[in-house]
Amino acid sequence: MAKRIQFSATGGPEVLQYVDFTPVEPAVDEVQVENKAIGINFIDTYVRSGLYAPATFPSGLGTEAAGIVRKVGAGVSAVKPGDRVVYAQSALGAYSEIHNVPLEKLAILPDNLSFEQGAASFLKGLTVHYLLRQTYEIKPGEIFLFHAAAGGVGLIACQWAKALGAKLIGSVGSDEKAELAKRAGAWATINYHKEDIAQRVAELTNGEKVSVVYDSVGKSTWQDSLNSLKRRGLMVSFGNASGPVIGVDLALLNQKGSLYVTRPSLYGYITNRQELQSASNELFSLLGSGAIKIEVKEEQKFALADAQKAHQVLESRKTSGSSLLIPGL
């Protein structure tokens, strides 16, 4: 027997249940992982709330964790029991002591990274990789806007931008978060509770605005993002923290300068183990060199049994950086 989080109906954090279950043997090309640290991501709240509802109930939750290989299924030779691994694109169910994961979704966790570092950085780091390196390739010296710069993805983006020699303008919700983003490498910050985002972007760029905006906030920042773009700029909408963007007015994109809009996701960029290996190698290199540092606040580490509380805190928008569930805590 093992413990996991499951839910039988969509809704608020209260639908999450801490239950016993019996792990099944790994199938062909699957690996059974004993999770040591589990990543909590905002997309998990979308799944729980019903925005991205699971196909069947009861359902597990979460797709990211780091741990130790416990068993391997037939056809698996790339990893063996005892190996340290990390994953970010599993089927729902990573909020669990034991989880079976397809081999193609796993990466070997380097010895110089802890389980907590792996689980706190993998999904978010791979996200930053596809955003800054693939969706729009950020160049040295380039100025761009990144919303929620003090969040888990945002703080990694600040550090990655600095490593690239680029100038990230980070929008944040408080002066404390502004300081966090600056320490991480943001070139400038905008406190959206005190400043007009688009106006401040124009000031920071001497009226030129930016070629790309990365926006995981969604509904509440949509207009500010469009207003911050220069002619033929790219709006990258990759999240809905304030609610989904609906009813996109294509004529408005024309009026604001023939703007481009894309709604990417990690699953559109990493579709096989080769693509996963390429992206994770670059991430692990930056983590290993210290160019990107991952530190999880103690108050943002939760016991697996406290998943409800973890989601309440995450949705309060009061966290900074990454949050984790720790089995056995």
Residue 13 DSSP symbol: G
- List the beta bridge partners of residue 178: none
Number of independent structural domains in the chain: 2
Mean pLDDT by 10 residues, the chain (329 residues): 96 97 96 97 91 90 98 95 96 97 96 95 95 97 96 94 98 93 97 95 97 90 94 92 79 95 94 94 95 92 97 86 90
| Domain-embedded: residue 135 | no
Q: Which domain holds residue 9?
A: 2-121+271-326
Q: What is the pLDDT of residue 329?
A: 84
Q: How far is CA 207 from CA 189, 193, 199, 284, 291, in A?
A: 17, 22, 9, 37, 31
Backbone phi, psi, residue 153, to 5°: -70, -40
Question: Whole-angstrom Cα distance, residue 158 to residue 180?
Answer: 10
**Does 259 share its domain with 288?**
no
Q: What is the pLDDT of residue 108?
A: 96
* Cβ neighbours around 21 below 10 Å, total: 16
**Does 195 share its domain with 291?**
no
**Maximum distance among all alpha carbons in the chain?**
62
Q: What is the pLDDT of residue 160?
A: 98
Residue 31's domain is classified under what CATH number? Answer: 3.90.180.10
| Domain-embedded: residue 51 | yes
| Domain-embedded: residue 225 | yes
Q: What is the pLDDT of residue 25?
A: 96
Find the angle CA(189)-CA(262)-CA(86) to the nearest 5 degrees.
Answer: 75
- Give the contacts of 97 (CB within 8 A, at least 6 positions apart): 2, 3, 4, 34, 35, 304, 327, 328
- Which of 210, 243, 264 is the last residue in one of the domains? 264
Question: Whole-angstrom Cα distance, residue 33 to residue 30?
Answer: 10
Which alpha helices (DSSP H) does 131-268 contain, by range? 152-164, 175-184, 197-204, 222-227, 250-255
Lookup: tokens for 297: 């606040």
- β-strands 30-40, 98-102: how paired? antiparallel
| Domain-embedded: residue 130 | no
- Which of 220, 246, 264 is the last residue in one of the domains? 264
**Does 22 share its domain with 76?**
yes
Q: How far is CA 84 from CA 34, 109, 288, 295, in A?
A: 10, 5, 16, 20
**Does 116 share its domain with 40?**
yes
| Domain-embedded: residue 291 | yes
**Does 309 share its domain with 239?**
no
**Does 232 share its domain with 207?**
yes
**Does 90 share its domain with 154?**
no
Helix, strand, or coil here: 252?
Answer: helix
Q: What is the pLDDT of residue 243?
A: 76
Q: What is the pLDDT of residue 198?
A: 96
**Does 74 share its domain with 6?**
yes
In 88-124, the DSSP E strands lie at 98-102, 106-108
| Domain-embedded: residue 127 | no
**Does 185 share its domain with 251?**
yes
Q: What is the pLDDT of residue 51?
A: 86
Q: What is the pLDDT of residue 218?
A: 77
- Are 5 and 92 contacting, i.e. CB atoms less than 8 angstroms apart? no
- pTM for this structure? 0.89
Q: What is the pLDDT of residue 287?
A: 95
**Does 172 share its domain with 194?**
yes
- Which of 264, 294, 310 is the last residue in one of the domains? 264
**Does 216 share its domain with 317?**
no
Which alpha helices (DSSP H) does 185-296 contain, by range? 197-204, 222-227, 250-255, 273-289
Helix, strand, or coil here: 312?
Answer: helix
Q: What is the pLDDT of residue 304?
A: 98
Question: Whole-angstrom Cα distance, residue 301 to residue 326?
Answer: 7
**Does 255 share its domain with 279?**
no
Q: How far is CA 145 from CA 43, 136, 168, 295, 326, in A?
A: 21, 12, 6, 24, 33
Residue 215's domain is classified under what CATH number? Answer: 3.40.50.720
